[in-house]
Homo-oligomer: A and B are copies of this chain.
Amino acid sequence: MSKYPLLLDTKPVSYMIGDGALGMSGKSLQKYPRIIMLVDENVEKHCLPVFKEYLPNVEIDHVISIKSGEKSKNLEQSIHIWNELTRLQVDRDALFINLGGGVVTDIGGFAASTYKRGIPFINFPTTLLGMADAAIGGKTGIDYGAYKNQVGLFVDPVSVIIDPIFLNTLNDLQWQSGFAEVMKYGLIMDRDLWSMLIGKDYHHLDDWNKIIAKAARDKIDIVHHDALEKGMRKNLNFGHTIGHAIESYYLMHDMPITHGQAIAAGMICETWISSKKFNIECTQIDEVVDMIDLNFEKFGISEDTIPELLDLMRQDKKVREGQLKFSLIRKIGKATHDIEVEMDMVIDSIKYYINRNAAH
């Protein structure tokens, strides 16, 4: 049982994906009498000029800027956005644009859809993570205390405009963070995408237009069939049960890491659990772990942290009636969900992560 009996506007989300999407979006923006935009300070510097260059006729009434980084995805920043919207006397005819990565689309979607019971918003993801994952699928929210997305809601943007042109603005850490989610799509549902990636580190990949299109379509397919995460959408949580706990742990101890770094570590643990639960060929396990090690450095966490990680997992939204349920892979390209995993096996998987010799 899980009910999210939200009210509905029957309009489906419109997507534009690929080179040129940014410029083509102009027409749909011009029908709004007023546009408010949310960015972070990096996006304001690097992406907003690109937005303005490609859409010279779109008039942005006001730009709200927040500090970049996961630490900004909090209630204080959401209050800042509500205050700005109130101060500007924004009404429900206005459009709210989220220009940025996952932090901006998550908090901006939450703030916009709770301001005056909801103003429409459009996501323009600017990061690899945003394009392949975060900007799609209606999950919005803020972190709360140590807990990721503890406050938020499912609410769709009017449109998602994905133009790879913004990838030119990314730093190395942002590339890497998004790459974890791209790998995830290969592992859970897209053998073909995995084949494009395997054996390469993300610095040496090209054809991002195609990679992004494949990952974004995978995500759109899943959320189209299961928007509210009652079934197959749970497959997207592969790597995230342990990964989120690791991310929260570092956030709590004031050593924030990227979402991708946390999920990469989580995928190693959960691939190990998958191998214990299902009969997966050893070569496939090695292939996954080697690929992650090729792209991500191993964290120096110690076994002492395990109890705290377990506590954080128990607060995860994926917990049902106190039982940890995992999304795991049966083989590369095929995931499954709602697999109960004993606490000892979770502990062992983290020990496996800690004690293995990373090739990197």
A156 vs B8: C-alpha distance when bound (angstroms): 10
Tell which of B118, B150, B155 touches A86, judged by Cβ atoms closer than 8 Å: B150
Cβ of A228 within 8 Å of any chain B Cβ, yes or no, is yes
Closest to A317 in B: B116
Contact A120/B315 with A86-B147, A144-B86 known, Cβ cut-off 8 Å: no
A5 vs B156: C-alpha distance when bound (angstroms): 6
A91 vs B317: C-alpha distance when bound (angstroms): 6
Give the shortest distance, in Å, between A148 (CB) and chain B (any CB).
10
Contact B155 A7 (CB under 8 A): yes
Contact B314 A117 (CB under 8 A): no
Q: Mark A1-45, 1 if CB is under 8 A from B, else 0.
A: 111111111010100000000000000000111000000000000
Contact A139 B117 (CB under 8 A): yes
Cβ of A141 within 8 Å of any chain B Cβ, yes or no, is yes
Tell which of B5, B9, B152 touches A120, judged by Cβ atoms closer than 8 Å: B5
A31 vs B2: C-alpha distance when bound (angstroms): 12
Contact A317 B120 (CB under 8 A): no
Contact A154 B5 (CB under 8 A): no
Give the shortest distance, in Å, between A76 (CB) and chain B (any CB).
11
Give every chain B residue within 8 A of A118 (Cβ-Cβ).
4, 6, 153-154
Contact A7 B227 (CB under 8 A): yes
Contact A2 B154 (CB under 8 A): no
Cβ of A75 within 8 Å of any chain B Cβ, yes or no, is yes
Tell which of B6, B86, B322 touches A6, judged by Cβ atoms closer than 8 Å: B6
Contact A145/B86 with A6-B154, A117-B317 known, Cβ cut-off 8 Å: yes
Task: Give the most central of A6, A31, A151, A154: most B CB within 10 Å.
Answer: A6
Give every chain B residue within 8 A of A321 (Cβ-Cβ).
33, 91, 93
A82 vs B8: C-alpha distance when bound (angstroms): 25
Contact B93 A1 (CB under 8 A): yes
Can you list 21 pairs linking A and B with CB atoms under 8 Å apart? A3-B9, A3-B11, A3-B158, A5-B13, A5-B158, A6-B6, A6-B7, A6-B9, A6-B154, A7-B8, A7-B155, A7-B228, A33-B321, A82-B151, A92-B320, A93-B320, A93-B321, A113-B153, A116-B149, A116-B150, A118-B154
